[in-house]
């Protein structure tokens, strides 16, 4: 019998496929052998032969870790060890925007962050809220669980940011391994290694390794489109916002309408 399911983990040639509440260990056959299936793929399986027969079109795919069909990206941002980085945050936001994934920003380690620094960070985050992004702290578990409901969610964020810790707070029985952050390096050691979708709270969640080597392999136009406040009303239709000759974006950076660090992230992402 054929059933529609979702790949929740891949280990070498073994594909674990979830159909409703059951899990089937499957292999791949025929022409699909040459196709790189990913966690999150919606597939048709034959429940007698335990083979994947067909893969459905994806709505998006993230690479490193490889995962498809994400509804929401929980961007976990540490305020202290590893240090708060608007650049990383902006990078993940661009990644979400261009892949049509709703981003949710979750701030961690406020308890060990300097009070004055917390104030500064909260001020910066006001700008993101004004852009329409949801921002929570990792203490707001009830709200975060509500965000998950009915969704396929991937976590993203630096190693050591507190992704696994956050999921453990959502559900103790998950018992995900969390790691010590090296004080010296200010970063973790990739405690989470495998990518798999975990089913809980009426949602599917991927706790991911830290995306430490996240590269945005995108064109300048695509990166630019990921900064939603930039808009398209510049002097030139194909403005790259790097020359100060009437560029609307630069003007808005100069008069404080666009957060300076956002613009700096943009320049860094396009290699300027």
User: Is residue 89 within a helix (H) or strand (E), and if so which, with residue range?
Assistant: helix 86-98
DSSP assignment letter at 74: E
Residue 160 in the binding site for ligand GTP (CB under 6 A): yes
Residue 72 in the binding site for ligand GTP (CB under 6 A): no
Q: Output the CA–CA distances (angstroms, integers) from residue 155 to 72, 210, 251, in the order listed.
A: 9, 9, 35
Report the residue from 162, 226, 227, 258 that binds ligand GTP according to the rule CB under 6 A. Answer: 162
181 or 269, CB closer to Zn ion?
A: 269
44 or 81, CB closer to ligand GTP?
A: 81
214 or 270, CB closer to ligand GTP?
A: 214
Which residue, among 71, 53, 54, has the nearest Cα to 62 in the 3D structure? 71
Q: Cβ 217 to Zn ion, closest distance in Å?
A: 23
Residue number closest to ligand GTP, CB atom: 162
Residue 223 in the binding site for ligand GTP (CB under 6 A): no
202 or 221, CB closer to Zn ion?
A: 221
Residue 112 in the binding site for ligand GTP (CB under 6 A): yes
Choosing among ligand GTP, Zn ion, Mg ion, none, which partner's interface includes residue 9 (Cβ < 5 to 8 Å by kind)? none
Which residue, among 25, 40, 94, has the nearest Cα to 203 in the 3D structure? 40
Contact (Cβ atoms closer than 8 angstroms) between residue 210 and residue 155: no
Contact (Cβ atoms closer than 8 angstroms) between residue 154 and residue 160: no
Residue 79 in the binding site for ligand GTP (CB under 6 A): no
Helix (H, G, I), strand (E, B) or coil at 269: helix
**Around 200, how many Cα atoms within 13 Å sit in the side-chain half-sphere?**
15
| Angle at CA of residue 53, ends 35 and 73, nearest 5° | 60
Report the residue from 43, 107, 195, 239 that binds Zn ion according to the rule CB under 5 A. Answer: 239
Chain residues binding ligand GTP by CB under 6 A are 108-109, 111-112, 138, 157, 159-165, 178-181, 188, 190-192, 209-210
């Amino acid at each position: 019998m054929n059933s529609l399911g979702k790949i929740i983990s891949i280990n070498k040639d073994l594909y674990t496929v979830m159909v409703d509440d059951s899990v089937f260990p499957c292999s791949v056959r025929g022409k699909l052998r040459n196709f790189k299936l990913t966690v999150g793929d919606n597939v048709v399986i034959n429940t007698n032969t335990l083979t994947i027969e067909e893969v459905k079109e994806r709505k998006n795919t993230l690479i490193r870790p490889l995962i498809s069909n994400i509804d929401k990206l929980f961007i976990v941002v540490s305020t202290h060890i590893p240090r708060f980085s608007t650049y990383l945050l902006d990078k993940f936001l661009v990644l979400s925007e261009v892949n049509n994934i709703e981003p949710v920003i979750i701030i961690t380690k406020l308890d060990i962050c300097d009070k004055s620094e917390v104030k500064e960070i909260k001020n910066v985050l006001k700008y993101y809220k004004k852009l329409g992004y949801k921002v929570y702290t990792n203490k707001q578990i009830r709200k975060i669980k509500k965000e998950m409901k009915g969704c396929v969610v991937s976590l993203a964020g630096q190693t050591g940011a507190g992704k696994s810790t956050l999921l453990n707070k959502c559900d103790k029985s998950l018992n995900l391994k969390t790691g010590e952050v090296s004080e010296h390096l200010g970063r973790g050691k990739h405690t989470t290694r495998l990518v798999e979708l975990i089913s809980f709270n009426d949602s599917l969640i991927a706790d991911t390794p830290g995306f430490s080597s996240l590269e945005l392999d995108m064109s300048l136009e695509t990166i630019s489109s990921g900064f939603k406040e930039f808009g398209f009303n510049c002097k030139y239709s194909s403005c790259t916002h790097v020359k100060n000759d009437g560029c609307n974006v630069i003007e808005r950076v100069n008069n404080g309408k666009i957060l300076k660090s956002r613009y700096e992230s943009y320049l860094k992402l396009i290699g300027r």
